[in-house]
Structure 1
Amino acid sequence: MDIETDGRFGNKRVHHRLGPANGAASSSTSGKVCIHWRAGRCNRFPCPYLHSELPEATAKRPSQSGGGGNVWRNPHSGGGGGRGAGGAGGPNKWGRGPGGADGGPRHKVPDRPCRYFLAGDCSYGEKCRYPHSYSMSDSITMLTPLQGHEKVVTGIALPAGSDKLYSGSKDGTVRMWDCQTGQCAGVINMGREIGCMISEGPWLFVGIPDAVKVWNMQTQAEMNLTGPTGQVYALAVGNELLFAATQDGRILAWRFSAATNGFEPAASLVGHQLAVVSLVVGAMRLYSASMDKTIRVWDLATLQCIQTLSDHTGVVMSVLCWDQFLLSCSLDQTIKVSLCP
């Protein structure tokens, strides 16, 4: 560290930093006190700002202690700060003090939406101190909630060429939502809990206990695919086949027939000991996750099981293919990443 001697620059530097002895701003200064000097770390020479407190005569507000002089308070210490030195009664110049632009108290804007607004009954309106927004993100904002289902929503789908969003619920209904207005355009009462829902092209597939309900949104064709036992928990499409994961551990497959414009049974994939709850297709493979804590890999060409993965110690809830990787999550509180067989 370099130490300057008094005979070189020391006394002169101290004199220039203190400014005029009477506290008045000189022509070479701005009339403001150096904030870096206040913090004890100013290293500018010469500094264009005063290195001394402003005289009491410039203060227009009494201190909180009852005296008539201006007592400066550190804006970061939590105490009340005086008016800015740029002019008596002017706005706070520090930018980070507890005062607002008008010198009054400034409150931090809460970082969560108003829960009464989300419930639709906030009485404060625009004066509410909490944001009236469904999302705090700058890029994604919720437009409106689609309300109407009375129980858990288990699936949504948007068939190709349709302007309707479809949702299925354990309340036993399929609801159609207008994509332009967000309003419910119709309700189909299935009478049974809906376990899953997907769309492929114009087709909408809905898994219910003991069946898969099928609609063609372009031709209005409707059919039931029977064969499952218990709830259908997952659906997937691959190699021109429709797969349904069932409660009894089987995976049923149907093939679309252009001649009959319908679906015909193709296979029953047996191997899991408990319910199959998730399906995904990738790289000519079908991956199935089950409550028996295993993942099975099926060849789409032969529909034969070619491998069983037993790394999880709990129910495997979902599987996902990403590039050459297979990702799976489980009730054992882990996510496994494996190379796709």
Structure 2
Amino acid sequence: MDMDGSKRIFQRLGPSTSNENGGFSGNKQQKVCIHWRQGRCNRGNQCNFLHQELPNRGTQQGGMNNGGFPGNSKRPHGISDDDSARSGLRRNTNFNNKWGRQQSHNNSSNNINGSSSRVVVKTDKVCKYWVQGSCTFGDQCRFLHSWSTGDSFSLLSQLEGHQKDVTGIALPTGSDKLYTGSKDETVRVWDCQSGQCAGSITLGAEVGCMLSEGPWVFVGLANLVKAWNIQTNTELSLSGPVGLVYSLVAGSDLLMAGTQDGTILAWKFNITTNNFEPAASLQGHTLAVVTMVVGANRLYSGSMDSTIRVWSLETLQCLQTLSDHSNVVMSVLCWDQFLLSCSLDKTIKVWAATDSGKLEVTYTHNEQHGLLTLCGMHDAEAKPVLLCSCNDSVENCIRVYDLPSFLERGKIYSKDHVRTIQIGPPGFFFTGDGTGLVRVWQWVAQQTPTTM
């Protein structure tokens, strides 16, 4: 929070007794200058309109509303790595756990209570003039001059080249190259050392998803899965899907694809033939399967039919159908003994196994907007963190939460929605947005105050 900048903004509120050479004139029209609101009025004290916000009706100048903020202010908008995700879900007999236990405390701590504080916080929105490189307010601007809030991560690099939504990011084992796929029908290959594009592959169809498993890179397309082995330069085409392949996952020596028609197809690699051979077709979902995760010898699949299905990887049979979401289940992930899921119904649900072995919701976290994707990882201090992308056309933000408390750590903003978040090498992660931009982020260790 820029306390100094906020105070300067607050000092502009209210009438002034100064003459026209020293400040506001008593003859100013009682109308707020639209150019000042946009941050570009160049008339300063000579402007005939107010350079201040008028107080809300029913609220005295300098008074407080119910939230503890000045009546004319806007209220600001509060896991595991791959190894722990694969550890799966264990039975949890104690549903009185600590999920979200500090959320209410966090919300209240962000409020400015008492009329004596009289501090206006910066608006929780990226300055569009700063984005264009033309904001003249600097630190005094009421809007953010940054693509993120919070001090535990920072933007390291931006990879520009895709023309449409980034739908997949893959970093194969033993490679110094990053692979990204897009709706612009290309896969781009980036050099991890220089950040430059090392090549582009035109596929002739939009990329629905991507997966890296060992030396393999898999790309989900319409009616097809492409497979590349970067060590042997092998290229394979796996047929069978009907419609676009929205999700890919590997587990128990199987490659599985969630398709547009609701079917989950499975292939097994045959060393003798050096090919992936069809192994099973899992039926049950009535609409497209858009997300999958493997844990505890189980496959969890989320669908546009608003359900999550639990499958045994031994028998490939459906063990349970979870129907607590009321809209598309966009993302699922495993953390410790829990399953986490997010949906366009504006909730993140935490599932745990009961004594009977069935999954039930043990905590629900509510958001103001639908959720697009979840990604769990550890920060620079090895603390579990959850990143969730919101379906918000205004902010286009990723919310960063501590687990299991759901205390907000910060936000990441983009020019368009983020559908892809991918864990990178230790200390790094990647995001891909609707403009085609891929960003590289780095976790930053918290500074510990030193005592003399």
Do 1:285 and 1:298's aligned partners in 2 also have CA atoms closer than 8 Å?
yes
Corresponding residue to 1:309 among 304, 319, 322: 322
Q: Residue 144 of structure 1: CA displacement?
A: 2.2
1:200 paired to 2:251:
no
Q: Residue 118 of structure 1: CA displacement?
A: 4.2
Q: Residue 330 of structure 1: CA displacement?
A: 1.7
Q: Give the Cα–Cα distance (whole angstroms) in 1 for the partners of residues 130 and 245 of structure 2.
A: 37
1:210-289 aligned within 5 A: 210-289=223-302
Q: Give the Cα–Cα distance (whole angstroms) in 2 for the partners of residues 184 and 233 of structure 1.
A: 25
Do 1:110 and 1:129's aligned partners in 2 also have CA atoms closer than 8 Å?
no
Q: Residue 140 of structure 1: CA displacement?
A: 2.3
1:152 paired to 2:173:
no
Shift in CA distance, 181/111, structure 1 to aligned 2, threshold 3 Å: farther
Higher relative contact order (CA closer than 8 Å, sequence separation 6+): 2
For 1:238, the aligned partner's letter is G
Q: Residue 114 of structure 1: CA displacement?
A: 6.2
Gaps of 5+ in 1: 1-63, 66-77, 79-107
Shift in CA distance, 266/150, structure 1 to aligned 2, threshold 3 Å: same
Q: Give the Cα–Cα distance (whole angstroms) in 1 for the partners of residues 193 and 129 of structure 2.
A: 26
Q: Which residue in the other structure is 2:307 paired with? A: 294
1:337 paired to 2:343:
no
Q: Give the Cα–Cα distance (whole angstroms) in 1 for the partners of residues 311 and 123 of structure 2.
A: 51
For 1:270, the aligned partner's letter is Q
Q: Give the Cα–Cα distance (whole angstroms) in 1 for the partners of residues 122 and 286 of structure 2.
A: 54
Q: Give the Cα–Cα distance (whole angstroms) in 2 for the partners of residues 139 and 225 of structure 1.
A: 41
How many residues matched?
238
Shift in CA distance, 334/183, structure 1 to aligned 2, threshold 3 Å: same
Q: Give the Cα–Cα distance (whole angstroms) in 2 for the partners of residues 145 and 186 of structure 1.
A: 17
Q: Give the Cα–Cα distance (whole angstroms) in 2 for the partners of residues 110 and 274 of structure 1.
A: 40
Q: Give the Cα–Cα distance (whole angstroms) in 2 for the partners of residues 334 and 114 of structure 1.
A: 28
Q: Residue 319 of structure 1: CA displacement?
A: 1.3
Q: Give the Cα–Cα distance (whole angstroms) in 1 for the partners of residues 237 and 313 of structure 2.
A: 24
Q: Give the Cα–Cα distance (whole angstroms) in 1 for the partners of residues 345 and 149 of structure 2.
A: 32
Do 1:170 and 1:195's aligned partners in 2 also have CA atoms closer than 8 Å?
yes
The 10-residue stretch of structure 1 (285-294 or 328-337) with the greater mean CA deviation from structure 2: 328-337
Cα RMSD for the two superposed structures: 2.9
1:179 paired to 2:175:
no
Q: Give the Cα–Cα distance (whole angstroms) in 1 for the partners of residues 273 and 303 of structure 2.
A: 33
For 1:298, the aligned partner's letter is W
For residues 51-96 of structure 1, what are the alpha-carbon distances to aligned partners after superposition, in whole Å with 9 as ceiling and x for unaligned? xxxxxxxxxxxxx99xxxxxxxxxxxx9xxxxxxxxxxxxxxxxxx
For residues 99-133 of structure 1, what are the alpha-carbon distances to aligned partners after superposition, in whole Å with 9 as ceiling and x for unaligned? xxxxxxxxx999987655645x5598xx8877876
Shift in CA distance, 280/111, structure 1 to aligned 2, threshold 3 Å: closer
Q: Give the Cα–Cα distance (whole angstroms) in 2 for the partners of residues 313 and 113 of structure 1.
A: 32
Which of the two has greater strand per residue? 2
Shift in CA distance, 142/245, structure 1 to aligned 2, threshold 3 Å: same
Q: Give the Cα–Cα distance (whole angstroms) in 2 for the partners of residues 316 and 111 of structure 1.
A: 28
Q: Give the Cα–Cα distance (whole angstroms) in 1 for the partners of residues 227 and 347 of structure 2.
A: 35
Q: Which residue in the other structure is 2:80 paired with? A: none
For 1:273, the aligned partner's letter is T
Q: Residue 188 of structure 1: CA displacement?
A: 0.5
Normalized against structure 1, the TM-score is what?
0.63
Q: Give the Cα–Cα distance (whole angstroms) in 2 for the partners of residues 140 and 293 of structure 1.
A: 33
Q: Residue 134 of structure 1: CA displacement?
A: 4.7
The alignment-based identity, stated in percent, is: 63
Q: Which residue in the other structure is 1:61 paired with? A: none
Do 1:112 and 1:136's aligned partners in 2 also have CA atoms closer than 8 Å?
no
1:1-150 aligned within 5 A: 115=128, 118-119=131-132, 121=133, 134-135=147-148, 137-150=150-163
Shift in CA distance, 303/115, structure 1 to aligned 2, threshold 3 Å: same
Q: Give the Cα–Cα distance (whole angstroms) in 2 for the partners of residues 332 and 109 of structure 1.
A: 29
Q: Give the Cα–Cα distance (whole angstroms) in 2 for the partners of residues 260 and 287 of structure 1.
A: 30
Do 1:212 and 1:232's aligned partners in 2 also have CA atoms closer than 8 Å?
yes
For residues 267-305 of structure 1, what are the alpha-carbon distances to aligned partners after superposition, in whole Å with 9 as ceiling and x for unaligned? 000111111111010000001111111111110011111
Q: Give the Cα–Cα distance (whole angstroms) in 2 for the partners of residues 134 and 216 of structure 1.
A: 36
Q: Give the Cα–Cα distance (whole angstroms) in 2 for the partners of residues 170 and 315 of structure 1.
A: 21
Q: Which residue in the other structure is 2:203 paired with? A: 190
Do 1:109 and 1:129's aligned partners in 2 also have CA atoms closer than 8 Å?
no
For 1:280, the aligned partner's letter is V
Q: Give the Cα–Cα distance (whole angstroms) in 2 for the partners of residues 282 and 333 of structure 1.
A: 25
SS in 2 for 1:306: strand
Q: Which residue in the other structure is 1:43 paired with? A: none
Q: Residue 184 of structure 1: CA displacement?
A: 1.0
Q: Residue 138 of structure 1: CA displacement?
A: 4.0
For residues 204-231 of structure 1, what are the alpha-carbon distances to aligned partners after superposition, in whole Å with 9 as ceiling and x for unaligned? 0100000101001111110100000000
Larger Rg: 1
Q: Give the Cα–Cα distance (whole angstroms) in 2 for the partners of residues 143 and 323 of structure 1.
A: 29
Gaps of 5+ in 2: 1-17, 20-61, 63-120, 359-452
For 2:181, the aligned partner's letter is G
Q: Residue 335 of structure 1: CA displacement?
A: 2.1
Q: Which residue in the other structure is 1:92 paired with? A: none
Normalized against structure 2, the TM-score is what?
0.48
Q: Give the Cα–Cα distance (whole angstroms) in 1 for the partners of residues 314 and 341 of structure 2.
A: 23
